[in-house]
Amino acid sequence: MPDRLLFDRVYSDLVANKADEPFFKLILTLSSHEPFDVPVRRFTEPYLNAVNYTDNCLGEFVNELKDTGLWDNTLLILLADHAMQSYPVGVANNEPQRFHIPMLWIGGAVKQPLVVGSYGSQNDLSATLLSQLRMQSGDFLFSKDMLNPQGSKFAFYSYVNGFCMMDSTGTVIYDNDKEDVILKAGNPGLERMAKAYFQTMYIDLANR
């Protein structure tokens, strides 16, 4: 479904079915995924063109939502679910640059502007959001509250044949095919932490 139709449907559902209780909705856009087939052409690079289309659809959805009473009490979180292997060109699939993505919290429920520059991963959305709602997040074993000033601040990602951990003290990238570290900078203790984290994740997955 093109993103314009998706956002139109979400908007009409929200307006038509105004909930009396707090609600949660998950929206997954697909126009910025391969084959990048969108009804506009502003960029020659297919991925950039598709992202531009999705961005415009999202902007129109936000503007429409602002014209309703829903916006005042709404928190809208924007977060990518994965990196794009074909873009940017020239960046290896294991490099941190490919996995450097923003997370945006917008809406009338946001009290004031704030920029959080600490390290984190998509996993951390659960604990961060639940903490703001004053709810327990213990079921999310690999999630941490990014807004907790005393919390651990690190990012972890895995790719096709390896994984990476990085924080303010350094970076380590491990290649599973080579069974060796292919990049290590800064804190030498990160290698052990990264391996333990990766192993614990897969043990947890196998036990589910």
Peptide bond before 102: cis, by omega within 30 degrees of 0?
A: no
Q: What is the band of 66 on the pLDDT scale with cuts at 50, 70, 90?
A: very high
Is the predicted pLDDT of residue 166 greater than 70, yes or no?
A: yes
CA distance 4 to 155: 33
Q: What is the band of 19 on the pLDDT scale with cuts at 50, 70, 90?
A: confident
CB 10 within 8 A of CB 23: no
Is the predicted pLDDT of residue 205 greater than 90, yes or no?
A: no
Is the predicted pLDDT of residue 20 greater than 90, yes or no?
A: no
Average predicted confidence (pLDDT) for the chain = 92
Per-residue pLDDT, 1: 64
CB 106 within 8 A of CB 76: yes
Q: What is the largest CA-CA distance in the chain?
A: 56
CA distance 53 to 59: 10
**This prediction's pTM:** 0.88
pLDDT single digits (tens) 173-198: 999 999 999 999 999 999 999 999 99
Per-residue pLDDT, 187: 94
Per-residue pLDDT, 195: 95
pLDDT single digits (tens) 136-152: 998 999 999 999 999 89
Domains in the chain: ranges and CATH: 1-115 (3.40.720.10), 120-152 (no CATH), 154-208 (no CATH)
pLDDT single digits (tens) 82-94: 888 778 888 998 9
Q: Which residue has the higher pLDDT, 208 or 200?
A: 200
